[in-house]
Amino acid sequence: MYRKIFITAGVFLFPLFVLAQTLGYQLQLWTRIINALMPFIVALAVLFFMWGVFQFVKSAGNEDERTEGRNRMIYGIIGIFVMVSVWGFVNLLDNTFRLDSDYIPCLPTFPPSC
pLDDT at 71 > cutoff 90: yes
Q: Is residue 47 part of a domain?
A: yes
Q: Is residue 3 part of a domain?
A: no
pLDDT tens digits for 2-37? 777 777 777 766 666 666 556 667 667 777 887 788
Q: Is residue 12 part of a domain?
A: no
The pLDDT of residue 75: 92
Q: Is residue 28 part of a domain?
A: yes
Q: Which residue has the higher pLDDT, 108 or 44?
A: 44
Range of 31's domain? 22-114
Find the Cα–Cα–Cα–Cα dihedral 102, 86, 47, 33, rounded to 10°: 40
Q: Is residue 54 part of a domain?
A: yes
Q: Is residue 39 part of a domain?
A: yes
The pLDDT of residue 57: 92
